[in-house]
Structure 1
Amino acid sequence: MSVKKNTFKSITNWLHLWLGLASGTVLIIVALTGSLLAFEADLEPVLFKHYHIVDPVGQRLSLDSVVTLAQNVYEGQKASRIIVHAEANRSVEVRVGTKGENNKGAKLVYVNPYNGQILYKGVYTKKFFQQVRSLHRFLLLGDTGKIITGISCSICFFLTISGLVLWWPANKTAMKQRFKIKWNASGKRLNWDLHAVTGFYLSIFLLVVTFTGLLMSYDWLEDTFLKIADGKQAKEAKVKSPSKGKEIKAGIYQDVLQQTNQIYSGDGFVAFVVPAKPSQAITVTKENTNAMVASSDIAYFDGKNGSLIKKVPFEKLTLGAKLRKMITPAHTGSLLGWPGKVLALLVALFTASLPISGFLIWLGKRKKGKKNSRPARAVQAAV
């Protein structure tokens, strides 16, 4: 039995070592960019204050007027997404043009809702944090990069599990040493403790981050996971506008915004997803600031006259639908607010350090192996 255990641990150790070395560079890039993305919502209005923060002076323009101003910047392009923040000093974000997973071709306009000034206009994917996100998810290589990061995420998931196997002590005496870092030890021992002991304490969070990363990388895995949760294939809701005709009611966006704030209280931002055709419903989500865990409520409005079709608060969603909405917040740490973001930052920085500390452990063992082999060669030469 002990021989089998030793063989299993040796194979695990070999895989842990070489897979870690092979994916090290990608893991460092993904981890460091992930640490930035965890605070995207907080850093964006600070780093780019000139087009996020406005002076709330005078009467606020209607949302329809703001959207029209944004659409006029790119003639022939229709708004596809609108974000209205609860804070009075925040600009309105309007995304126009093509939409999709990578938002290829989409343009972005920030408008001052008090005087109609265009604060920013540009390609959505060229924004700083969108570039960081593209580096995080695709290594700026498109579909090829997505394959590489998906494989690296799979490796990181395996490394976390195999690391726990290697951390597991062989006896009770060793058990006491595996739960604390020996700060006054030699450099090699301290590096091993930081790699293994810290890894043990953060392993559960690293498993959550890597597993949610796998769900975001592989559609088949996400579909399977959500199907298990709901007992059937989870599908995105597609709601049609019940009214007939092609004419769109004047002031529809302002009306929808007011209805949404009446239906769902709280100070969260409101996000519109505007369909390409008015025959489909406008989907509106509002951040639920009253919930202990970050969530959002949904409402569907007629795309022609703005009347409420149905409302779907977060607590009424199926388990699969709830999990779908929680994947990204769980991955970034925002699911638990600031404590979750700080924890995500620590996990990301630790993940970035793992390939380095792991390489130093391997280098130390390699040098030790060479030193031990010298006396053996000397004896052979003497004989």
Structure 2
Amino acid sequence: MRTLDLLHRWAGGIVGLVLALLGLSGTLLVYKDSWVMAPGAGDALVVDAGPVADAVARLFATPDRPDSIVFASEAFGLHRLRSPGGAGAYADQAGNIVATWDGIWARPELWLFDLHHYLLAGDAGEIFIGIISLVGLFFIISGFILWWKLRRTFQFKLWPARMSRPAIIRHHRDIGVVLAPLLFISCLTGAMLTLQPVANFILSPLGPAKEWRAATAPPKVKGGQLAGNPDWHAMLAAARERFPDAQFRVLSLPRKPGDLISLRLKQPAEWLPNGRTLVWFDPADFHVVEARSALEMPLGQRVFTKVYPLHAAKVGGLALKLLMTLSGLGMALLGTLAVWTFWFKQPKKVRVPA
């Protein structure tokens, strides 16, 4: 038990601030659609394929056309355009550009997202966050074990009774066990989203990972050369005919010769904000190459698509947002106080008279 206590304290003292940073940034991102400031952000969603196609044609007709468009949603009324090198723009649903940027530092929601998901360090940062998420799971499990032997002294307090080391440690222990279920969900889903082997292992009872991950892979079909004036009306109409109740979510141009135009849609029963219903088109003649419904994909893929909505509180309405807010703020509080007590509130050494 002493070894477990030492591991818990040392690990908390070293990575506590990283967990605090992730908790605080995650809490802000839960409400991102509410605080992003841009003209038209509060506009009602346009769902008819015709007006959406008109806007797409206008946006892709520009000389510096984007690589993809994330369509407006019920929560956020602007299209987001993505371009190489981190550049991008917001456009209203008529296709008018209302804000542009050359990199993530131009918009607070962009660098905050990058901070939370990648620690501003790209793929290496994402892997590091996944490892930190696993460390967070260790904190939760070891903390509960260490709390159990002292459970009779439990007292619920939102803040330490005093800013002394014993009071902070007691508060850390007791509030940690209260928040443990929420923190467990946050850390587990975070690890599943950032570390593929973790998701593969947890979902292994639902089928081979190779099989369910292949459900979202593009068809092994070589597309033609992208036409100069794509018929977006025909493509969006074809997608709407196949999935009448779905919302258009993400439209992407081919990245290299031979790739297809891809369209992601969200059906009402899907939790994932951008959906996993997929339609691919040939860039030369715009015919549908293949369409896949997210509701008919392998069970492993259907369960995996629920991980992000749980992690980011994109389902469950205000109730889950509030719970994930408690999780994020709790993680920030626990991480910060853990570092404070470890490095700055060490017990004073008592000198023994010679």
User: Offset of 1:348 from its aligned partner?
Assistant: 0.7
Indicate conservation of the 8 Å contact 2:271/2:306, yes or no.
no
AA paired with 1:303?
Answer: D
User: Offset of 1:50 from its aligned partner?
Assistant: 1.9
User: Offset of 1:68 from its aligned partner?
Assistant: 4.6
Indicate conservation of the 8 Å contact 1:240/1:279, yes or no.
no
1:314-345 CA-to-partner distances (Å, cap 9, x unmatched) read 32111221233223222222243332222111
Residue 92 of structure 2 is aligned to residue 112 of structure 1: yes
| Residue of structure 2 equivalent to 1:300 | 279
Aligned mates of 2:60, 2:262 — CA distance in 1: 19
Within the candidate set 105, 108, 116, 1:128 is matched to: 108
| Residue of structure 2 equivalent to 1:273 | 252
Query: What pairs up with 1:65-214 in 2 under 5 angstroms?
Result: 65-71=54-60, 73-75=62-64, 77=65, 79-85=66-72, 90-96=77-83, 98=84, 105-114=85-94, 116-123=95-102, 125-126=104-105, 127-143=107-123, 145-146=125-126, 148-169=128-149, 175-178=151-154, 180-181=155-156, 186-187=161-162, 191-214=168-191
The TM-score with structure 1 as length reference comes to: 0.74
| Residue of structure 1 equivalent to 2:266 | 287
AA paired with 1:23?
Answer: V
Aligned mates of 2:53, 2:308 — CA distance in 1: 30
Residue 300 of structure 2 is aligned to residue 320 of structure 1: yes
Aligned mates of 2:259, 2:204 — CA distance in 1: 26
Aligned mates of 1:117, 1:155 — CA distance in 2: 45
| Residue of structure 2 equivalent to 1:10 | 2
AA paired with 1:213?
Answer: G
1:140-167 CA-to-partner distances (Å, cap 9, x unmatched) read 2345544543443232221111101111
Q: Unpaired segments of 5 or more residues in structure 2? A: none
Aligned mates of 2:218, 2:160 — CA distance in 1: 61
1:190-235 CA-to-partner distances (Å, cap 9, x unmatched) read 6445422222122122122112222333333334445553225233
**SS of 2:67's equivalent?**
strand
Q: Which is greater in Rg?
A: 1
Aligned mates of 2:266, 2:119 — CA distance in 1: 30
User: Offset of 1:346 from its aligned partner?
Assistant: 0.9
| Residue of structure 1 equivalent to 2:39 | 50
Higher normalized helix content (fraction of residues): 1
1:252-306 CA-to-partner distances (Å, cap 9, x unmatched) read 3233333434444557452223323575443322234456787835131322444
Aligned mates of 2:2, 2:147 — CA distance in 1: 13
Quote the RMSD (CA, aligned, Å). 3.9
1:82-113 CA-to-partner distances (Å, cap 9, x unmatched) read 233355993433323x4xxxxxx143233334
AA paired with 1:32?
Answer: L
Indicate conservation of the 8 Å contact 2:17/2:339, yes or no.
no
The TM-score with structure 2 as length reference comes to: 0.79
**SS of 1:26's equivalent?**
helix
Q: Unpaired segments of 5 or more residues in structure 1? A: 1-8, 99-104
Aligned mates of 1:124, 1:331 — CA distance in 2: 26
Q: Percent identity?
A: 20
Residue 330 of structure 2 is aligned to residue 350 of structure 1: yes
User: Offset of 1:60 from its aligned partner?
Assistant: 10
Aligned mates of 1:60, 1:290 — CA distance in 2: 20
